[in-house]
Amino acid sequence: MEIENVTLRFGGVTALKDVSFDILEGEICAIIGPNGAGKSSMLNVINGFYHPDEGQIRFRGEHRPTLPPYRIAHMGIARTFQNIALFRGMTTLDNVMTGRVTRMRPNLMKSMLWWGSAEREESENREFVERIIDFLEIQSIRKTLVGRLPYGLQKRVELGRALAAEPSLLLLDEPMAGMNVEEKEDMSRFILDVNDEFGTTIALIEHDMGVVMDISDRVVVMDYGRKIADGPPDEVRNNQTVIDAYLGVQHD
């Protein structure tokens, strides 16, 4: 995926200014930056919730026209949210099954009668979803309403819902926010495993630098809606502009 000169404005506020970078197939790309740098807006542009005022998005080498978000989900882009956006009135299983929506083609008549292909499709997808549930180790909460789950588990269910779509590009918006060290380790392992086992390309936003430097192949740094650095973790770590953005410039 290539992001080319994307600019996004809300009224008078410019959230993103002429941002360009690529997300390469199979890599884990981290987007970091101080609060309000435009990271979440960037993800929202990538998955089509916001439409850029200027610039374009190229997906698999082709220009992507302006489409509603659900069409973009059908192209194989899934995501999780900064503030958990699970379907609170549904069970874990139903939440993850809903993630399969891009893979299911329900026929109204057959669903009404629960006949033939309807039941078969349901069972086949259930089987796939159960594999994800196993993978994320959330078997025991399969039939619990997600509204009742603790925060860390909710984040995991949300990841499961995104994975259920078998995405080619997975966007994670602060997957580790508010977690303790142990939970962060678990989550990091899941992210790496997903990348390894399914070959999923991952773009993630994260504030924990330790985690970011450990798991990502490439880091994009943003500040005030601009990209200020882009490269492998080590290179970014030593970049003067990045240090300035995070620690501030000394005025003497």
Partner 1 sequence: MLEQLLFGIEVALNGLMTGVLYALVALGFVLIFKASGVFNYAQGVMALFAALTLVGFQNGQIPFAHLINAVLGTNVHHFGWHLPALLSVVMALASMVLLAVIVERLMLKYLINQEPVILFMATIGLAYFLEGFGDMMWGSEVKKLDIGLPVGPSDSIESFTYDLFGYGFFIDRLDIVAAIVAALLVVTLTVFSQYSKIGRALRAVADDHQAALSVGISLRFIWVVVWSIAGFVALVAGIMWGAKSGVQFSLSLIALKALPVLMLGGFTSIPGAIVGGLIIGVGEKLFDFLLGPIIGGATENWFAYVLALLFLVFRPQGLFGERIIERV
Partner 2 sequence: MFYRETGEFRTSYPNDSQTFPIKFDRRLYYIMLFAAFGVIPFLINDYWANAVFVPFLIWAMAALGLNLLTGYCGQISLGTGGFMAVGAYACYKLMTAFPEMSIILCIMFAGVITALVGILFGLPSLRIKGFYLAVATLAAQFFLVWLFNKVPWFYNYSSSGQISAPERTVLGVAVTGSFTEAWAKYLFCLTMVFVFAWVARNLTRGAIGRSWMAIRDMDIAAEIIGVNPMKAKLSAFALSSFYIGMAGAMFFANYLGAIEATEAFGINQSFLVLFMIIIGGLGSIAGSFIGAAFLVLMPVLLKNILVGQMGWNTAIATHLEFIIIGGLIVLVLIVEPHGMAQLWRVAKEKLRLWPFPHAS
List of residues contacting partner 1 (CB under 8 A): 10, 40, 44, 49, 81-83, 85
- Indicate which of partner 2, partner 1, none lies near residue 118 (CB less than 5 to 8 Å, by partner kind): partner 2
Compute the distance between CA of residue 188 and CA of residue 94 in angstroms, rounded to an integer. Answer: 25
- Indicate which of partner 2, partner 1, none lies near residue 40 (CB less than 5 to 8 Å, by partner kind): partner 1
Task: Tell which residue, 108, 120, 189, 184, has the closest CA to residue 152.
Answer: 184
> Is the CB of 81 or the CB of 198 nearer to partner 1?
81
> Is the CB of 84 or the CB of 228 nearer to partner 2?
84
**Least gap, CB of 173 to partner 1 (angstroms):** 8
> Is the CB of 68 or the CB of 199 nearer to partner 2?
68
**Least gap, CB of 121 to partner 2 (angstroms):** 8
> Is the CB of 81 or the CB of 87 nearer to partner 1?
81
Q: Compute how many other C-beta atoms are within 10 angstroms of the C-beta atom of residue 63.
A: 10
Torsion sign across C-alpha atoms 198, 1, 71, 202: positive
**Least gap, CB of 44 to partner 1 (angstroms):** 6
**Least gap, CB of 89 to partner 1 (angstroms):** 11
Q: Could you give the angle at the alpha carbon of 49 between the alpha carbons of 20 and 199, nearest 5°? A: 65
Binding-site ranges for partner 2 (CB under 8 A): 47, 49, 68-70, 73-74, 78-79, 81, 85-90, 94, 97-102, 104, 106, 108, 111-114, 118-119, 121-123, 126-127, 130, 161-162, 165
Is there a contact between 31 and 222 (Cβ–Cβ < 8 Å)? yes
- Indicate which of partner 2, partner 1, none lies near residue 135 (CB less than 5 to 8 Å, by partner kind): none
> Is the CB of 49 or the CB of 198 nearer to partner 1?
49
Task: Tell which residue, 29, 28, 25, 54, has the closest CA to residue 39.
Answer: 29
Compute the distance between CA of residue 158 and CA of residue 81 in angstroms, rounded to an integer. Answer: 8
> Is the CB of 204 or the CB of 236 nearer to partner 1?
204
- Indicate which of partner 2, partner 1, none lies near residue 82 (CB less than 5 to 8 Å, by partner kind): partner 1
Q: Could you give the angle at the alpha carbon of 77 between the alpha carbons of 30 and 126, nearest 5°? A: 115
- Indicate which of partner 2, partner 1, none lies near residue 126 (CB less than 5 to 8 Å, by partner kind): partner 2
H/E run at residue 86? none
Compute the distance between CA of residue 169 and CA of residue 23 in angstroms, rounded to an integer. Answer: 9
**Least gap, CB of 182 to partner 2 (angstroms):** 23
> Is the CB of 202 or the CB of 219 nearer to partner 2?
202
**Least gap, CB of 197 to partner 1 (angstroms):** 28
The first and second tokens of residue 235, run together, are 């290179």
- What are the strands, taking DSSP E only, across the chain? 2-10, 13-22, 28-32, 54-59, 62-63, 77-79, 169-173, 201-205, 218-223, 226-231
